[in-house]
Amino acid sequence: MSKTHVVEKWVDEAAALTKPSKVIWADGSKQEYDRLVEEMLRDGTLLEMNQKTYPGCYLHRSHPQDVARTEQLTFICTRDPEDAGPSNNWMAPAEAKAKAGAYFKHSMKDRRMWVIPYLMGPAGSAASRTGVMVTDSAYVVASMHIMTRVGQVAIDHMRAADDFIAGLHGMGDLSPERRLILHFPEEKLIWSVGSGYGGNALLGKKCHALRIGSYQARQEGWMAEHMFILGVEDPEGRITYFGGAMPSASGKTNLAMVVSKLPGYRAWTLGDDIAWIYVDAEGQLRAINPERGFFGVAPNTSAATNPNGIQMVRSNTIFTNVATTPAKEPWWEGIGTEAPAGTLDWQGRPWAPGGAPAAHPNSRFTTPGSQCPSIAPNWEDPQGVPISGFIFGSRRTNVIPMVFESFGWQHGVFLGAAMSTETTAAITGQVGVVRRDPMAMIPFCGYNMGSYFAHWLAMGPRLANPPKIFRVNWFRRDAEGRFLWPGYGENARILKWMVDRIHGRGKAVETPLGFIPTADALDLSGLDIDRRRVERALAWDRDEWLDALGDLSAFFGPFGRRLPGQIRQELELMVYRLKTGR
């Protein structure tokens, strides 16, 4: 059968289940995007923003109960539950299809179904992969236009007739009781019903590029990671590339487009959320960004914190769940200006300061990557960029120093596996609760995480020059609850230290945790900060760490024999170093 035959057959099956009034094949053209916007303006799915100051920008207000990913409704459906592992929700494939099938059945009666062939990754890259999703949401089609490469380019990329991830998406009735996000990695299949929210509905993103992607990556010997990709240019003009994993709403977009105040240092953006990473013929790790746009957190994006972010959303952007001013401009908490009188909140209700936030804490912008002022000229290079450093960052009020470097690959993988973080508004549920989030992949790893750690460990020996691995935490606070480190643009100072370390410079002290920069090793020139605050941000406490590592052992327990011995060994070594001071 030809490529299109296999795709058409699957689309027919989806239509037989959902019974749409019409099936439309998306071609990814500008005319198609404009037509979608026009229709959505007519039916109220989109509202026009000020076209003089925000040309091509629109607002979408989602269902108030559909504003973030819902992890409790997200499942990995493998035949054997052990292949999903203790950190994933698991459902038997047949049961999953029976349940969701009932929600999908005839759910597109009187609605249209779009077929979206999409490519994840740059055209012409051997690392890029195709998906074909169907959906009854015009907002999803328009968002996929911004976030992926839609149309014939995707079909052209298929290496065989069945070389695509199939995705069935439907809005259902948007009730959380009838919402399910299901992954069938063994069948290269995704079913998502009952949510129109980003990570639940734009199936190329978390469902394909991370959950199914990570499963395929292990089988095929590459990596699919929840990472930004960033290049740091130094005064010699050399660019050092990093991949960085941080949990949802914990700083990837901001660091990926950081504006450095250090003379001669400049950051180039290649991606802000997902990296697909492979080993080239020379044993060098190389990363591509499978996405084409940014689906970024709006709150606290300001000219001071993220000037590139502010600039890139001034045109051709879909805002979701932000507040709006009477001038029809977007507004959110931390945008840097007071909300003018007459501001409407994210649900379109009159708003006044003092109560609930005007913008939803997980309000977002969807914007083409090409609009970012710091986008790297080579961001769509089919070969990707060579990675010299990995950064694992999380959100911790206490315990974790602002930055330190691992002793090597195995210890670095352990530090990633040991990550914990405070939860954010990017997931439905309680905010600020500490949970384990290895490599920022706990919600996104499509298979048993014990095997995932083993896969990471196995990558090291394949590399001619394994990247240095760093651990960071911008979110440490003092006793009064204030951040110890100003973060944002000042994080470029920490990148500079990492670049120095990678190129054999940069002062550090060896501690039981790893290499920590001495306070004078960080370039603090021009920064008005009490050095004692920097020292406190870099400090570590033996008892706090021993405590935290005890807790880690409990987290690793359920992985049983799937947990690699090296991870346990690194844990024991760390406890030993802490106890003996060696």
**Residues in touch with ligand GTP (CB under 6 A):** 246, 248-254, 272-273, 296-297, 299-300, 305, 426, 474-475, 483, 487-488, 491
Q: Quote the least distance from Cβ 250 to Mn ion, whole Å.
A: 9
Choose the binding region for ligand SPV from 150-158, 197-205, 327-335, 477-485 (rule: CB under 6 A): 197-205
What gap in Å lies between CA 173 and CA 220, rounded to an integer?
Answer: 38
Residue 294 within binding range of ligand SPV, rule CB under 6 A: no
Distance of CA 510 to the CA centre of its chain: 32
3-state secondary structure 398-454: CCCCCEEECCCHHHHHHHHHCCEEECCCCECCCCCCEEECHHHCCCCCCCCHHHHHH
Q: Quote the least distance from Cβ 249 to ligand GTP, whole Å.
A: 4
Which tokens in the block code for residue 528? 């008005």
Residue 426 within binding range of ligand SPV, rule CB under 6 A: yes
- Give yes or no for a contact between 286 and 337, defined as CB atoms under 8 angstroms apart: no
Q: Quote the least distance from Cβ 513 to ligand GTP, whole Å.
A: 21
Q: How many residues bind Mn ion (CB under 5 A)?
A: 2
- Give per-residue burial for 302-331: e unless 16+ CB within 10 Å, then b: beebbbbbbebbeebbbbbbbbbbeebbbb
Q: Cα separations (Å) of 34 from 30, 37, 51, 117, 323?
A: 6, 5, 14, 18, 24
Q: Quote the least distance from Cβ 74 to ligand GTP, whole Å.
A: 15
Q: Which residue is nearest to ligand GTP (CB)?
A: 487
| Burial of 84 from C-beta contacts in 10 A (0-12 / 13-18 / 19+) | buried
Q: Which residue is nearest to Mn ion (CB)?
A: 273
- Give yes or no for a contact between 170 and 107, defined as CB atoms under 8 angstroms apart: yes
Q: Which residue is nearest to ligand SPV (CB)?
A: 199
Residue 250 within binding range of ligand SPV, rule CB under 6 A: no
Residues 6+ positions from 206 with CB-CB distance below 8 Å: 69, 199, 443, 444
Q: Which lies closer to ligand GTP via its Cβ, residue 188 or residue 536?
A: 536
Range 45-84, binding ligand SPV (CB under 6 A): 69
Q: Cα separations (Å) of 176 from 63, 71, 199?
A: 11, 12, 15
Q: Which does 205 bind (CB under 5 to 8 A by kind): ligand SPV, Mn ion, ligand GTP, none?
A: ligand SPV
Residue 295 within binding range of ligand SPV, rule CB under 6 A: yes
Which x/- pattern over 93-132 shows residues binding Mn ion (rule: CB under 5 A)?
----------------------------------------
Choose the binding region for ligand SPV from 199-207, 370-378, 395-403, 516-524 (rule: CB under 6 A): 199-207
Q: Quote the least distance from Cβ 433 to ligand GTP, whole Å.
A: 16
Residue 437 within binding range of Mn ion, rule CB under 5 A: no
Residue 273 within binding range of Mn ion, rule CB under 5 A: yes
What gap in Å lies between CA 410 and CA 416, rounded to an integer?
Answer: 10
What gap in Å lies between CA 133 and CA 238, rounded to an integer?
Answer: 40
Q: Which lies closer to ligand SPV via its Cβ, residue 206 or residue 496?
A: 206
Instruction: Please give the residue ranges that form the binding site for ligand SPV (CB under 6 A).
Output: 69, 198-199, 205-206, 248, 273, 295, 426
